[in-house]
Structure 1
Amino acid sequence: DGMVFTTNTRWSEVSSVEEVWALLEHAASARSRASTSMNERSSRSHLVLSVRVELAHRASGARSCGRLNLVDLAGSERVARSNASGERLKEAQHINKSLAALADVFAALLAKNAHVPYRNSKLTYLLQDSLGGDSKTLMIVNVSPSEADAAESVSSLMFASRVARVELGRASKRGGGAADTATAVELARTSRTLKEQAEELGVVKERLLKSERAAKAQREELDAALARA
């Protein structure tokens, strides 16, 4: 179906929100974290939760599927401030490289280039079906309230400003064919039903107005008769 998957991973079928949270907590527990001069519990890797949803049309049996990627990116890091060394330094380099590749992808999408460098990192390659085509993407950028982190905050906000100008294609439902036709028929039927109900309500409303006008006229006649008496 054109989706990208990683090797050495296991897909788990879930049937409730609680099961999704349990899987997320399990993944988070395996996430690499370490202390640096900037963050006592610094994330040393990205976290990606992929939710694959499959639907089957009751009438036609046609199937369609979609995928939701929830991503918690590790923050960009200035090694001069974090004082990372050894393994922490290698992790910081990999994090910054993948974030730079993500920025390159957004730059290419913003410029509407024919070639988008999704394959420049594992992160962008994994997320390519969420960063182009008929996908919809929402990014939330966190910044620090500390004055000492002003440079990083400004850099993050500038990145967010560029990303906000990226326009992706309008999302369309996968599957098509009989499922789309059946859905269109159902929508048309619902539309007709709503119109008929609206017309019926209009008729009832008009009858009520006539009844109110007749009752008012009768009250006025009665008041006039009482006044003459």
Structure 2
Amino acid sequence: MIAAVSATPLSATDSLQPARHAQALLGREVWSTLLRIENRAPSARYPRVVHALVFELAGMLWFYDAAHGTQSFSLHRGRLAEEKADFAPLLRDIDPGFLRWTEVPARIEHSPARGSLPNGCFIESVAALRDRLAAGEAISHPQLLSYYLTHRGVRTGHTVLAYETNGRVAVIDPARDGAPLQFPSPLAGNALQLARAVAGNDVVTARWVQLEPAVQLPAVATERRVTGDAIDHPPRV
């Protein structure tokens, strides 16, 4: 979905169902936990109560909420067990008002509908890879392509699935129905050029999030810059 992130925070009730939907899309193979977060400083960005999904990919934690999509949650590499044991510093990094939280009991849905997760392009692109692999499609070098574009002064982020097959680069956009878009194979080596081929010249920056071609999706690696053991936050998508 290429659209501005909602400027109106969702209510606690409205934010719970999308978080459950996101958990179902990722499936039981991906570690995740659903949080009810109390915000001590409600604002235009986050209301008093927020529901969010924290999930693990590639030894890192990610944070999804319906109003803002997916962003990195881990602050350090190689400290996954420590970060899972204490979300406090990670939540404060998302918003200083996030001081109290509780885990919501899991209730995995079955066969959730595609294309209906608010700001869910990152998670739905991961789910699309699992669907393609389950269908037996020959896939190599699967990657998420995350990019920002600016149109009429509005900056938005989006993520699609890209992979190589039959000598071409295929792109699946969760916001579009139909067959994958097809591009020349050299574009697989240039995130910005491929993003502009997909979404036009309004794209200003793009990066890869590389996915292991395995049904259970055990590994994801990103190209974010690291200084010491700290992690730069990538574009929020």
TM tier, shorter chain?
A: under 0.3
User: Whose radius of gyration is greater, 1 or 2?
Assistant: 1
Higher share in helix: 1
TM-score normalised by length of structure 1: 0.24
Larger RCO, structure (CA 8 Å, separation 6 or more): 2
Higher strand proportion:
2
